[in-house]
Amino acid sequence: MAPVVARARSRPGATALVLVLVLAYSWVAGHFSTFTRPAEVATFIPGAIGVAVAIRARRPSTVRPDRSRSGWLAWWLIVVAVTVVEVLALVLGANHDHPTISDLVNPWLDPTPARALWFALWLGFGYWLSRR
């Protein structure tokens, strides 16, 4: 007899409800001006929930042979490069000649619908990242 594999039942109604709630939350969060206390709180809440869920998730810790050291090195180099650019912009004074990353992306975040879209994409990326 073949072993029975338990599968989680797909609940399309629940999935649709979560999607609607995420889009509504993103729309509300998108109305807050950047670098304000309400925007910080709106960003902190899903981040804190994500961290809490990640801490509670009990996944076995196993070595995955498909993860190479060169991949880790590439990500660390990207993180270091972005950090160096930000620190240099801070030290040299953020201006037209030395813009910060925020200065570069602010035009994309200016209209409210764009901010809401980027917020929803950020939430979706966080969800995708948590499922890996």
Is-above-0.85 flag for pTM? no
* Domain membership flag for residue 28: yes
- What is d(CA 72, CA 69) in angstroms, rounded to the nearest whole number? 5
Domain count, the chain: 1
**123 touches 27 (CB < 8 A):** no
**pLDDT tens-place string over residues 5-47:** 444 556 778 888 888 999 999 999 999 987 899 999 999 999 8
Domain residues for the domain of 37 are 13-58+69-130
Does the pLDDT value for residue 2 go beyond 60? Answer: no
* Domain membership flag for residue 6: no
